[in-house]
Every structure is written in C-alpha cells, then in structure tokens.
C-alpha cells in the first residue's frame, strides 16, 4: 500500500532567486508513469502588463509552461499565478538594489498530478474519483 508523502506535497510552489542561486523545483512525480520527477521543459512564461507607476511586487500575473518526464518523455502543462517578493537588498555604488524572489504558484496541471500512485488493482470507479480529487489539490 502506498503512503501519502507529506514532505513531497507540502512544497506547492516554485521559487527562483538569481542572487542566491538556490532555485528549488519540487520533485513532483510524473502522472503518466510515476517513475521520474517532472522537469521544466523551458522557462515558465508570464506577462506583466501594468502601468509604469505600479510596483511589480504589488500584483500577481498568470503564468504557464511545460514540464516533461525523463522516463516516458511525455509532457505536462502547468499554469497558475506568478508574483515577486523583495527578500533583501544589496548595496551597489552606495545605492540599495532590491533582491527579488520569483514565486510561481501552480493552480492547474494537465494532466493533473497524482498525489500517490493509483495501483492497477484499485477499482476503476475509485481511481476516477481519486483522480478528480487530485486535480483540486493546487486550487
Ligand atoms: Zn513519465
């Protein structure tokens, strides 16, 4: 019987910071084969359309991207909300330059991720209900 991995699923966002170079991408398992973790196919894309006088960190913006599995080579679509936080400042020529943390909070995956592997001996009706519940996890 599979156990729910609390450590794996408590990290529900992707955080990037150029200054600290400690990007952490969650070890989300491939929903097709459950053999590998998903990786980014390319950079996650977001669009910031805002008036010039507004600070970037005051708003959230939609993002999307593609993830892929190194084992089965299939793709997963990801979308959600992107935001920026100022986490520190750096002194540069006697000026303070903000250090930004980029936060990608996914809402939807297509196909949705599976919080635990649905074994073949599970009844199909149970698998269907669990799969629909998994799709709501990131909402
Ligand atoms: Zn796979």
CA of 89 to the centre of ligand 1 (A): 40
Alpha-carbon distance values, 118 to 90, 103, 112, 132 (Å): 48, 30, 13, 12
CA of 78 to the centre of ligand 1 (A): 15
Highest mean pLDDT among 24-33, 40-49, 74-83: 74-83
Strand positions, DSSP E, the chain: 14-16, 38-40, 45-46, 61-69, 75-92, 95-110
Nearest to 83 by CA among 45, 54, 57, 63: 57
Nearest to 114 by CA among 24, 1, 9, 15: 9
CA of 27 to the centre of ligand 1 (A): 13
CA of 39 to the centre of ligand 1 (A): 10
Read off φ and ψ for residue 6, nearest 5 degrees: -65, -40
Comparing 110 with 12, which gets the higher pLDDT?
Answer: 110
CA of 118 to the centre of ligand 1 (A): 14
In the structure, ligand 1 is a single-atom ion and the residues with CB under 5 Å from it are: 30, 32-33, 69, 71-72
Q: What is the pTM of this model?
A: 0.84
CA of 74 to the centre of ligand 1 (A): 6
Angle, CA 44 vertex, CA 14 and CA 40 arms, to 5°: 75
CA of 87 to the centre of ligand 1 (A): 35
Q: What is the pLDDT of residue 106?
A: 95
Comparing 92 with 64, which gets the higher pLDDT?
Answer: 64
> Domain locations in the chain?
6-135
């Amino acid at each position: 019987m599979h156990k729910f991995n609390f450590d794996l699923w408590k990290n529900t966002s992707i955080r990037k910071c150029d200054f600290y170079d400690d990007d952490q991408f969650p070890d989300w398992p491939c929903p097709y084969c459950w053999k590998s973790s998903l990786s980014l196919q390319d950079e996650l894309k977001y669009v910031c359309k805002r008036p010039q006088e507004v600070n970037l960190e005051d708003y959230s913006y939609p993002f999307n991207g593609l993830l892929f599995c190194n084992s089965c080579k299939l793709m997963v679509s990801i979308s959600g909300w992107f935001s920026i936080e100022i986490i520190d400042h750096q002194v540069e020529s006697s000026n303070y330059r903000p250090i930004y943390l980029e936060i990608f909070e996914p809402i939807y995956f297509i196909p949705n991720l599976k919080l635990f592997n649905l074994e073949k001996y599970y009844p199909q009706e149970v698998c269907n209900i669990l799969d629909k519940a998994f799709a709501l996890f990131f909402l």
